[in-house]
A and B are shown apart, each in its own frame.
Chain A
Amino acid sequence: EGCKDSENSCIVDNRVVLKIIKHYQEEGQGNEVVQGVLLGLVVDDRLEITNCFPFPQHTEDDADFDEVQYQMEMMRSLRHVNIDHLHVGWYQSTYYGSFVTRALLDSQFSYQHAIEESVVLIYDPIKTAQGSLSLKAYRLTPKLMEVCKEKDFSPEALKKANIAYENMFEEVPIVIKNSYLINVMLWELEKKSAVADRHELLSLASSNHLGKSLQLLMDRVDEMSQDIVKYNTYLRNVSKQQQQKHQYQQRRQQENIQRQSRGEPPLPEEDINKLFKPPQPPPRMESLLIAGQINTYCQNIKEFNAQNLGKLFMAQALQDYNN
Chain B
Amino acid sequence: APSLGAAPAQLRLQRHHLRAVRQHRPPAPPRRPEPRGSGPAVPSPPARGRSPSKARGPRRAAPHSRRDSTASLRTTGEEGDAGTVDKHSVEVTNCFSVPHNESEDEVAVDMEFAKNMYELHKKVSPSEIILGWYATGHDITEHSVLIHEYYSREAHNPIHLTVDTSLQNSRMSIKAYVSAPMGVPGKTMGVMFTPLTVKYVYYDTERIGVDLIMKTCFSPNRVIGLSSDLQQVGSASARIQDTLTMVLQYAEDVLSGKVAADNTVGRFLMDLINQVPKISPEDFETMLNSNINDLLMVTYLANLTQSQIALNEKLLSL
Contacts and interface: CB of A to CB of B under 8 A. Distances in A.
Contact of B232 (A35, A307, A316): A307
B83 interface: no
Interface stretch (A83-91, A140-148, A247-255, A266-274): A83-91
Contacts of B52: 81-82
A167 to B, nearest CB: 11
Given A182-B27, A302-B303, A26 B125 contact: yes
Interface stretch (B143-151, B233-241, B255-263): B233-241
A128 B200 contact: no
A181 B49 contact: no
A201 B123 contact: no
B276 to A, nearest CB: 9
A-side binding surface: helix, strand, loop or mixed?
helix
A82 B233 contact: no
Interface string B243-286: 10000000000000000000000000000000000000100100
B6 interface: yes
A159 B98 contact: no
Contacts of A2: 218-221, 223-224
Interface string B193-226: 0000011111111111110111111111111111
Interface in A184-206: 184-190, 192-193, 195, 197-202, 204, 206
Q: Place the interface of chain A in its size category.
A: 35 or more
B219 A1 contact: yes
A206 B295 contact: yes
A32 interface: no
B4 to A, nearest CB: 5
Interface in A9-59: 9, 11, 14-15, 17-19, 21-27, 35-37, 41-43, 53-56
B44 interface: no
B16 interface: no
Given A193-B200, A302-B303, A131 B236 contact: yes
A100 interface: no
Contacts of A186: 210, 213-214, 216-217
Given A19-B29, A71-B5, A77-B117, A131 B232 contact: yes
A197 to B, nearest CB: 7
B292 A291 contact: no
Interface string B21-61: 11101011101000000000000000001101001000110
A256 B225 CA distance: 76
Contacts of B301: 214
B217 A187 contact: yes
Contacts of B55: 82
Contact of A207 (B218, B229, B294): B294
A233 interface: no
B157 interface: no
A104 interface: yes
A178 B222 contact: yes
A293 B158 CA distance: 50
A25 B206 CA distance: 9
B2 A37 contact: yes
Interface stretch (A168-176, A238-246, A257-265): A168-176
A193 B199 contact: yes
B86 interface: no
B99 A81 contact: yes
A167 B120 CA distance: 39
Q: Place the interface of chain B in its size category.
A: 35 or more
A315 interface: yes
Contacts of B232: 131-132, 201, 307
A259 B116 CA distance: 87
A173 B225 contact: yes
B124 A311 contact: no
B312 interface: yes
Contacts of B215: 1
B284 to A, nearest CB: 5
26 contacts: A2-B219, A27-B124, A35-B1, A41-B21, A55-B124, A56-B123, A56-B124, A70-B120, A77-B120, A81-B69, A82-B23, A92-B1, A115-B11, A133-B226, A174-B225, A177-B216, A181-B165, A181-B172, A184-B167, A193-B31, A199-B239, A201-B232, A217-B302, A291-B313, A307-B229, A312-B295
Interface of A: 1-3, 5, 9, 11, 14-15, 17-19, 21-27, 35-37, 41-43, 53-56, 65, 67-68, 70-75, 77, 80-84, 86-88, 90, 92, 103-104, 107, 110-111, 114-115, 117, 125, 128-129, 131-135, 155, 159, 162, 164-165, 173-190, 192-193, 195, 197-202, 204, 206-207, 210, 214, 217, 221, 224, 228, 231, 284, 291, 294-295, 297-298, 301-312, 314-316, 319, 323
Given A1-B219, A132-B208, 18 more contacts: A3-B223, A18-B209, A70-B120, A71-B2, A110-B4, A177-B221, A179-B59, A180-B59, A189-B210, A193-B200, A200-B208, A201-B236, A202-B236, A210-B298, A214-B301, A217-B305, A309-B292, A319-B288
